[in-house]
Amino acid sequence: MKYTRLGASTLKVSRIGLGTMNFGVTSDEAESHRILDAFTDRGGTFIDTANIYSRGNPQGPFHEQGHSEQFIGSWLARTGKREQVVLATKVMLDMGDGHAGLSRTAIRHQVEQSLRRLRTDRIDLYQAHGWDESVSIDETLAAFDELVTEGKIRYFGCSNFSENQIELAYESSARHRLRHFISYQNSFNLVLRNRLRNPMGNFFLDPGDASRYGIGLIAYKTLANGFLAGKFHKDAPIPPESRGSEAVIRNCYNDRCWKLLEAIGAIAHRHGVTVAQVTLAWYSMHAAISTALVGARTAAQISELVGAADLHITDDDFDLIDKLSR
């Protein structure tokens, strides 16, 4: 596994991180534990969740609010691996308990709930799960800053913020002499890197900007709903039960993306690995991407994906993928 520091922090994170949105939706507690075992056994350290998981994903037999955090907490209690992982969760969305949003009151209420579900005394990275128009960013940052001082969180970051929103947050931190975001978690992949549905995702991909702001990118949707894992083929039917197949057709069924996929496939064949592993290896070599999140329904799937960390594609391979994806 490759590792890096997350933004201007002391957090040492694996370049491939584990996203746990499936926990409590398609993966029950036992399978979630097996996924966590497989991830950490291969050297993975960064585990990302949110208080809203799995409430935000009600499709599935195990749905109950907070199940993702609960399953991680029970795994930590069983294995005693708290010191081996970097634990990240999020706050803002409506949990149905009257404490939604990013006000000081809501943040302080929800952090206690997350700590209880996760069975830990601190959260390594606490993330604003979107921009809250109803609350001043000054209040939000002050609340996060208080929690760092109290030792309940170590650092804080943001998710799904635009370029302008991140700049406003940094100006607020400087103006009030508060700690600032050390990460931003946004949708990013080789298909959508330059034409996202909003301004998010490319702001700090220049390593100079990332260093100046002290911020690192946590990328999600890295495999583009399976397209960049090689699950879709140009002249074949759509795979049954493919998640996000409509988005794949809309964003990926074009000459540029088929050429990109063909090139990744050729590199994978040459290395004797999978398409998904080459895609993730590219992310792990990008200086401004701190960690690329992957999710899986089974432990076997996560073992394959984390195996990408052992792969080093050549500089020529990296440059070719970079060129075709622009």
Note whether residue 29 is domain-resident.
yes
Structural domain range at position 46: 3-225+282-310
pLDDT tens-place string over residues 270-293: 999 999 999 999 999 988 889 999
- The verdict on residue 254 lying in a domain is no
Choose the weakest-confidence range: 198-202, 203-207, 254-258: 198-202
Q: Specify the CATH number for the domain of residue 305.
A: 3.20.20.100
Answer yes or no: is 164 within a domain: yes
Lowest-pLDDT range, 16-25, 91-100, 138-147, 303-312?
Answer: 303-312
Q: Please give the average per-residue pLDDT across 298-303, as a whole number.
A: 88
Q: What's the pLDDT at 63? A: 54
Instruction: State yes or no: pLDDT of 171 exceeds 80.
Output: yes
Q: Which pLDDT score, from 0 to 100, does residue 81 have?
A: 97
pLDDT at residue 20 above 70?
yes
Residues 259-267: contacts with CB under 8 Å, at least 24 apart? 259/324, 260/190, 260/191, 260/321, 260/324, 260/325, 261/227, 261/228, 261/230, 261/232, 263/320, 263/321, 263/324, 264/228, 264/230, 264/321, 265/230, 267/313, 267/317, 267/320, 267/321
Query: Percent of the chain having pLDDT more than 90?
Result: 65
Spatial CA neighbour of 218 closest among 124, 151, 77: 124
How confident is the model over 226-270, as pLDDT tens digits? 999 998 888 877 776 666 678 888 888 899 999 999 999 999 999
Q: Is residue 273 part of a domain?
A: no
Residue 234 lies in a domain: no
The least confident of 1-15, 151-165, 246-260 is 246-260
pLDDT per position as a tens digit, 41-72:
999 999 999 999 876 555 555 556 688 999 99
**Number of domains, the chain:** 1
pLDDT at 201: 53
Answer yes or no: pTM beyond 0.85: yes
pLDDT in tens, 172-185: 999 999 999 999 99
Determine, yes or no, domain membership for 303. Answer: yes
pLDDT above 90 (res 213): no
Residue 187 resides in a domain: yes
